[in-house]
Amino acid sequence: MLDQWRPSEAEKEVVFLLFKGFSLKDIPEVRGTTGKMARAVERVFTPSRA
């Protein structure tokens, strides 16, 4: 799946901030947006619990 992922600029920014150690709470504040994008990107990188 990730090999076919073509991230948008916003997704790239969120991933960069996650790798830099920013929390999901901090990212929307840094970006001046809601937390929806950060949570969506996090779901891509979080293993399924099923």
Domain regions of the chain by residue span:
2-45
What is the distance between the alpha carbons of residues 3 and 39, in angstroms, rounded to a whole number?
20
Q: How high is the pLDDT of residue 20?
A: 95
Token pair 């920013």: residue: 22
Query: Tell me: the pLDDT tens digits for 5-48?
Result: 788 888 888 889 989 999 888 988 998 988 888 888 777 777 66
What is the distance between the alpha carbons of residues 28 and 7, in angstroms, rounded to a whole number?
18
Q: How high is the pLDDT of residue 15?
A: 86
Q: How high is the pLDDT of residue 21?
A: 94
